[in-house]
Amino acid sequence: MISASARLLRLVSLLAARPSWTCGELADRMAVADRTVRRDIAKLRELGYTIESDPGPWGGYRLQAGARTPPLILDDEEALAVAIGLREAALSGALGGDQAALSALLKLRQVLPQRIADRLGEMDAAFVHTPRPDEPQITPGILLELAAACRRGERARLSYRDWEGKATARDVDPYRLVHTGRRWYFVARDVAQEEWRTFRADRVERLQPTGHPVELIDPPDPALLVSRSVSTGPYPLHTTIRLPMPMDQALRLIPSTVGAHRPEGPDATIVDIGGPDADGLAAYLLSLATPLRVVSPEAVRQALLRRTQELLEDNANGQSGE
């Protein structure tokens, strides 16, 4: 049996994970009696958490913003500073491709006193994030909206503008946000198409919850899905190569935004790469300056051999031409 303090932390985590829980649902998740849940809710309220509840067997508990920020013992300026730091970490991807900064920011904003939340909102409106030339602009509000949708576990209506600028609307089951180092991608199940899709977060115009709860069955690896989508993209030709190196080393050589990687044992990696044509792919492979084998297609293999032969001939004839 877990300790009372560990149980309270578990309860806080569950309350922060979605908008509402019934007493029975919380009891099932924590493997305790309903009476224990009610006693723990009362204890959290004593600690400063504002937890609202609805009466009746189908009533639920909701974690709301409190009069102060429990239990971190942060003053207003400290809480605001933490929220701003988490926001900037999410926008820059400073913590890598996971959602740690966004998840922490969502939890913090949920319990921020209104006076601090208002100040943070004013700063969001006043400050502009300046991306690199190849990085799209995206607002903190959109990121938080998408992250919240991933946490809610309910269907949403997505308003999206594709790469051609065409506006579409579709029902999706949100799953994860993935940061590639340049862009944020929203991973969700397209309900009408019955398939998992990736959407560029900067092209999302609106995401509206429908209130319809969903349970995701056998969801994909979100990072791998984004990697494959980005690397194969709308290219007319794709090649598969084998690198005689572990996957972590292959990822340093060919970023996940360029190729989709999968290990072949501990010392080799298979990479799928998209390109404009066989000659363009061959030129990229030659620029890697590393041993590799083209698995397919034959056109890329022949283009690589031709370029390699031309390079050898140019260097063999170099001295006589001087």
HEC assignment per residue over 261-302: EEECCCCCEEEEEEECCHHHHHHHHHHCCCCCEEEECHHHHH
Residue 128, pLDDT > 50, answer no
Q: What are the phi and psi torsion angles at 161 (to 5°)? A: -120, 120
Question: Tens digits of per-residue pLDDT, 30-41?
Answer: 999 999 999 999
Sheet holding 237-243, edge to edge: 259-263, 269-275, 237-243, 293-296
* pLDDT score, position 69: 45
277-304 core/surface letters (b: 16 or more CB in 10 A; e: else): ebbebbebbeeeeeebebeeeebbbebb
- The whole-number average pLDDT for the span 202-213 is 90
DSSP tag of 244: S
Confidence of residue 221 (pLDDT cuts 50, 70, 90): confident
* Residue 122 CB neighbours (<10 A): 10
CA dist., res. 278 & res. 239, Å (int): 8
Q: What is the mean pLDDT of residues 43-56?
A: 83
Does the pLDDT of residue 44 top 90, yes or no?
A: no
Each residue's pLDDT tens digit, 225-244: 887 777 666 677 889 999 99
pLDDT tier at 192, thresholds 50, 70, 90: very high
- Token digits of residue 44: 């959290």
> Rounded distance, CA 115 to CA 56, Å?
33
Task: Please tell me which residue, 169 or 87, carries the higher pLDDT value.
Answer: 169
Mean local confidence (pLDDT), 307-316: 87
pLDDT higher at 130 or 176: 176
Strand order in the sheet with 154-161: 195-200, 184-190, 167-179, 154-161, 204-213
Question: DSSP secondary structure string, 135-202?
Answer: S----HHHHHHHHHHHHHTEEEEEEEE-TT--EEEEEEEEEEEEE-SS-EEEEEEETTTTEEEEEEGG
- Each residue's pLDDT tens digit, 258-294: 888 889 999 999 998 888 889 989 999 999 999 999 9
Triad 249, 273, 92: Cα angle to 5°: 65
Per-chain mean pLDDT for the chain = 80
Region 72-84: mean pLDDT is 65
What is the band of 46 on the pLDDT scale with cuts at 50, 70, 90?
confident
What is the helix (H) or strand (E) element at residue 208, kind and residue range? Answer: strand 204-213
What's the Cα-to-Cα distance from 143 to each of 59, 239, 241, 298, rounded to whole Å? Answer: 30, 34, 35, 43
Q: What is the model's pLDDT at position 133?
A: 47
Q: How far apart are CA 233 and CA 209, in angstroms?
A: 29
Model confidence band, residue 120 (pLDDT cutoffs 50, 70, 90): low
Cα gap 233→253, rounded to integer Å: 20
Return d(Cα 42, Cα 55) in angstroms, integer: 15
Of 147, 197, 152, 148, nearest in space to 170 by CA: 197
